Amino acid sequence: MKKTILTVGLVSTLLVGCSTNKINQSSSKTPYSNIELNGKLYAAIFQQSTAEYQALCIQAFNIATLQLDLLLKENHSRPLAIVTDIDETFLDNSPYAVQMAREGKVFDEATWNSWTSKGNAIPLAGSLDFFNYAASRGVDIFYITNRSQNDKQGTLENLKRYNFPFADKTHVIVRDIESSKETRRQKLSETHEIAMLLGDNLSDFSVVFDKKTMVERVENVHKNASLFGKKFIILPNTGYGDWESAILDYKRDWSSTQKDSIYNSKLKGF
């Protein structure tokens, strides 16, 4: 009996081993596909479900609070302002990304407006406490966002739902024609001293990051390294951003297969 069991077990092990080997061999020969859609789902899992993501957000807003306290000890000739992006800087839009990916889509203005009009995006960990604290210390908050005019009402309702400070038409500054935020920042600088900028995208901070290549983006980060964690507070966003556009050379007409090829060409193994 023991011999029979041993023989059966050995045969089973060999069969499983052969089967596994076939799967591994097959997988290794299959190129990765649909990286964009699958990547957005994977990023959403991290954003929606992990303690690490919440810790990163809390860390960012803790650092922002410390830097704000230091700034408030100094003398300023103009009113202080904090400039913040909205999406994935303090509001979580991952449900939109999930829904679109499940439908085999990435983004379009109509579905995005449908999402923003609901005003259902939840605040990221630590964000509401920080902005309310800044407001309590007499600092104005300006929400400079690339949401469109069509998204503005839903955005205001979303901010009011969670009692974000300065949730009004004056302080929520949406995109007009150009996506660059530099003109809007300069306009605000005429009346306020911008003490701090918060964002998930490098272009939320400075024009030096607008429409730059991958290499230039890295170079400019290092040139401005002293500002990160002080004037520039960055939040994690692995789901989308200008980093995607830079990888794709700011072209929007690539096919899914072409995108897969480009993304794979940027990956390094060993």
List average pLDDT for each run of 10 residues in the chain, which is 270 residues long.
41 41 43 88 98 99 99 97 99 98 94 98 99 99 98 99 98 94 98 98 98 98 99 98 98 95 96
Contact 188, 161 (CB under 8 A): no
* Token digits of residue 63: 């650092």
Query: What angle, rounded to 10 degrees, do the helices at 109-118 and 94-102 form?
Result: 140
The string of pLDDT tens digits covering residues 172-196 is 999 998 899 999 999 999 999 999 9
Domains, the chain: 35-254 (3.40.50.1000)
Characterize the bridge pairing of strands 172-173 and 140-144.
parallel
Give φ, ψ of 22 to 5 degrees: -65, -40
Contact 145, 203 (CB under 8 A): no
pLDDT at 30 (0 to 100):
56
Q: What DSSP state is assigned to residue 170?
A: T
Contact 178, 185 (CB under 8 A): no
Contact 197, 83 (CB under 8 A): yes
pLDDT at 31 (0 to 100):
60
Spatial distance between the Cα atoms of 124 and 90, rounded to a whole number of angstroms = 5
Element spanning 217, H or E: helix 214-223
Evaluated on CA atoms 199, 203, 207, 212, the torsion sign reads positive
Spatial distance between the Cα atoms of 127 and 91, rounded to a whole number of angstroms = 9
pLDDT at 12 (0 to 100):
44
pLDDT at 60 (0 to 100):
99
pLDDT at 32 (0 to 100):
75
